[in-house]
Each structure stands twice: as C-alpha cells, then as structure tokens.
C-alpha cells in the first residue's frame, strides 16, 4: 500500500487541522499559540521545513487557531462554526494557493488555482504531510512541471480584495511559493508591502532559498524541523497498531524525521528498497555491467521521490556499515536482513573507499533533486561504486 492510500485511514482530520493532530514540535506549537494570544500576529509568515516534517500541517493548525471563535490556551476548540468549516478546509476567510500545471489553450492570466481547489482540499485532508510529487500524482499531470504564474498572483490579489466573511482575519496559505515565476513573485511582493488590515499570509516552503530575497525579508520565519525519532515512533504506533515499539523506533531512525518515508517504511516499502539496494550493490561489486543496466532501467521508472528515498535509505545503510566497520556495533541499529547485510558489507569498507561511497551517494541525491537524467545518473553512480568497492580489498 502506498503512503497516499494508507494515510487517510491513519490520520483523519475530523475536527480540522488542530495543533493536537500535528505530530511533535510541542515547543513550536506553544510559541505560535503564545504569539496569537498576545496579539503578535505578523502579517506575513514563512513556515519552512524539510519534507515530511510538518510545515504545512503546522501552518494550517495556526490558521485554524487564528480563525477559531472559542480557542483555549492549547488549541482551537474544534467545535465552533469556524472549526467546522476548517474541518473541510472550506472556511470562507481561508484562501488556498498552490502550484498547478499549466493547461493548453489558456492564457497565463487564466492559469489559476480555483479549478483545482476542491482536489487540493481533498488531497490535504487525506495527507496533510504531502509533497510535490504526491500532489503531481493526484493531479495526474503526466510529469508536467508544476508552477505558480501571474494568474495565481492576480487570483491572490482578487481574493484579498474581498471583505472578511466572518468579520475577523483573512488567511492566505501559499504552499510552495518557491515555485512562483519571477512575474508572480514580484506581484506577491507588492501585496506583502501593502497588506490589507487583518490579513495574514502563511507561506509554506521546503526550499526558501529559491524565494526572492525581498519576499524573505518581509516574512517572519518559522522553522519547522524534522521530527524527532521519539515523536515519529509514537505517531507510527498510533497509525500502525500491528507494529511493535522497537520496529517503530527503528523505522523512525531510518526515516530521519521524514513522516512520509516512515509511513512508506511501515507499509513495508523499505523491504523493496532494501532488496533493490542490496542486489544492486552485489552487481556493482561483481562488476556485472548487464545487470547494472537493468537496475538503471528500473531506477528510471521510479518516481523522483522514490529515487531519492532509495538513495537516502542507502546512505542510512552505509552509515550503519561504517559503524560496524569501525567496531562500534553497539551503535548499529538494524535488524533481520539489514543486520546480515551490514555485517557482510562492512567487510568491504576500508580507509580508501568509505568516504568515497558516501560522497557518491550524497552527490547522486543532490543531482536527483536538480532533475538529472535518472538513468544516466544511476549508471554513472554504478560504475563509480564498482571501482570503490574493489579498492584495496583486504586479502
């Protein structure tokens, strides 16, 4: 089962996006609530965090608390009319903007979010920790580039020109503003420079470095870090009652704070990654060029996030192998087949190749993020590992 298909069974947001439903980050939640209760609500705020860390759920929980008519000291009430509307992300004073694929035969100013809003609501309520790849799959956009153009910038201006329906705040959530083109970003900048009264912008980004510096300078930064292993393990136990505590913690450690990866692993997706990674390295060690070419074909057919997950998982296993090679087995955290792999593969590591293997995997991950051709990249990586794995093999 995929991350997408299972998550709505595990985490339905029946009362809206409450802080209590957001995994971990207790200190950050208390700070955000305190700011609102003390009247320190910045008109533009940037929620920034890594994939699967909870930046979007945190921003939506902040919006619900801000709009709630009967909030208390720890959360929105979940019962008032505003919360009832937030349960469906249909509050009239909550406006949602997100990247879309541009449709043919429409002018740039006609490329807006409105036709996709119901679909985005459904997607976020099913998986509030979603990422750009899952949203693209939901759109069935055939790998078209998702972006935000001048049409969306004008849509933002148009929606903010309306009066508050409930007489309080108007909240504009902009998911992945780094995907705005320059013209759209400049229009957004003008709105940020002259904000409407009681209007709050919540920008949610995973790569704020791509934003215009002028936008960054006008937004209050809220960093949403990767989830702590203990919080992630607890969340997994709630969602997957069939797994035991040790397994939940092992998955939490492997996922490195990414809830999407953790859920995928809990759905046994890590078994597929393990078998692929193990068998591929065996082919690299044996220098089986034909087999490596088949692996490159399979790698190309994976989605980009799946490719990144494989490389991240590989880096995790190599770290465990390094700890085993350095004779600190008490720090190694693997079980079952992974444990057998670590004990055997660690024998191939030495002072000449250990850093090189890690560096090649890290570089591959970076190149995947930059949309390198996956087949060429994986083939090149395989040839480099062939050399590294045969480097100074102990006699």
Q: Tell me the per-residue pLDDT of 329-365, one tens digit each, with 9 for 90 and over.
A: 888 877 778 888 999 999 999 988 999 999 999 999 9
- What pLDDT is recorded for position 2? 36
From CA 53, how far away is CA 102, in angstroms rounded? 28
Give 170-221 pLDDT, tens digit per residue: 999 999 999 999 889 988 888 888 878 889 999 999 988 888 888 888 899 9
- Residue 372, pLDDT > 60, answer yes
Average confidence (pLDDT) over 316-323: 92
| DSSP 8-state secondary structure symbol assigned to residue 17 | S
Predicted pLDDT of residue 133? 84
Q: Is the pLDDT of residue 295 over 60?
A: yes
Helix then strand then coil, in percent of the chain rounded to 5, is 60, 10, 35
Confidence band for 10, pLDDT divided at 50, 70 and 90: very low
pLDDT digit string, tens, across residues 219-237: 999 999 999 999 999 999 9
User: Is the distance from CB of 197 to CB of 191 less than 8 angstroms?
Assistant: no
Domains of the chain: 3-223 (3.40.50.300), 268-389 (1.20.272)
Whole-number average pLDDT of the chain: 87
DSSP assignment, residue 180? B
Ramachandran sector of residue 371 (left: φ over 0; alpha: ψ -120 to 50; beta: rest)? left
Bridge partners of 170, per DSSP, are: 199
Residue 173 near residue 63 (C-beta atoms within 8 A):
yes
Q: What is the largest CA-CA distance in the chain?
A: 78
Of 42 and 242, more confident: 42
Percent of the residues in the chain that have a pLDDT greater than 90, as a whole number: 57
In degrees rounded to 5, what are phi and psi of residue 140? 55, 50
More confident residue, 369 or 117: 117
Specify the pLDDT at position 142: 62
Query: DSSP 3-state assignment of 376?
Result: helix
Give the pLDDT of residue 62.
97
Give the model's confidence band at 268: pLDDT under 50 very low, under 70 low, under 90 confident, else very high.
Answer: low
Closest by CA position to 317, among listed 291, 335, 304: 335
- Express each pLDDT in 24-76 by its tens digit: 999 999 999 999 999 999 999 999 999 999 999 999 999 999 999 999 999 99
User: Mean pLDDT across the stretch 240-253?
Assistant: 84
Confidence of residue 288 (pLDDT cuts 50, 70, 90): very high
Is it the case that residue 7 has pLDDT exceeding 80? no
CB atoms near residue 328 (< 10 Å):
10
Q: What's the pLDDT score for residue 143?
A: 63
- Residue 14: is its pLDDT beyond 50? no
Q: Is pLDDT above 50 for 289?
A: yes
For 282, other C-beta atoms within 10 Å of its C-beta total 15
**Angle of helix 269-286 relative to helix 289-301, nearest 10 degrees?**
150
pLDDT at 393: 54
């Amino acid at each position: 089962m995929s991350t997408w298909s299972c998550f709505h069974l595990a985490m339905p947001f029946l009362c809206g996006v409450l802080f209590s439903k957001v995994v971990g980050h207790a200190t950050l939640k208390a700070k955000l609530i305190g700011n609102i209760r003390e009247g320190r609500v910045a008109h533009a705020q940037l929620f920034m965090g890594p994939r699967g860390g909870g930046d979007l759920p945190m921003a939506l929980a902040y919006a619900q608390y801000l709009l709630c008519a009967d909030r208390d000291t720890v959360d929105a009430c979940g019962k008032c009319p505003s919360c009832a509307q937030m349960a469906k992300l249909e509050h009239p004073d909550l406006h949602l903007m997100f990247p879309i694929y541009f449709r043919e035969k429409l002018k740039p100013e006609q490329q807006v979010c409105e036709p996709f809003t119901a679909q985005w609501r459904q997607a976020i309520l099913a998986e509030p920790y979603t990422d750009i790849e899952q949203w693209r799959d939901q759109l069935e956009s055939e790998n078209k580039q998702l972006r935000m153009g001048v049409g969306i910038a004008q849509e933002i201006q148009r929606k903010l020109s309306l009066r508050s329906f409930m007489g309080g705040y108007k909240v504009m959530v902009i998911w992945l503003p780094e995907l705005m083109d320059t013209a759209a970003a400049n229009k957004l900048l003008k709105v940020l420079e002259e904000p409407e009264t009681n209007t709050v912008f919540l920008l949610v980004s995973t790569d704020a470095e791509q934003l215009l510096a002028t936008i960054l300078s006008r937004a209050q930064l809220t960093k949403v870090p990767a989830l702590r292993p203990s919080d992630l393990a607890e969340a997994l136990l709630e969602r997957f009652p069939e797994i035991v505590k040790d397994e939940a913690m092992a998955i939490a450690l492997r996922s490195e704070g990414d809830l999407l990866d953790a859920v995928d692993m809990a759905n046994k997706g890590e078994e597929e990654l393990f078998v692929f990674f193990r068998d591929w390295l065996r082919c690299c060690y044996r220098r089986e060029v034909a087999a490596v070419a088949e692996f490159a074909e399979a790698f190309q057919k994976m989605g980009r996030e799946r490719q990144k997950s494989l490389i991240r998982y590989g880096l995790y296993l190599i770290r465990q192998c390094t700890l085993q090679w350095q004779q600190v087995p008490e720090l190694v955290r693997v079980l079952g087949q992974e444990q057998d792999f670590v004990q055997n593969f660690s024998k191939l590591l030495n002072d000449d190749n250990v850093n090189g293997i890690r560096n090649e995997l890290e570089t591959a991950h970076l190149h995947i993020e930059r949309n390198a051709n996956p087949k060429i990249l994986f083939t090149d990586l395989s040839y480099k590992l062939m050399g590294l794995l045969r480097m100074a093999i102990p006699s």
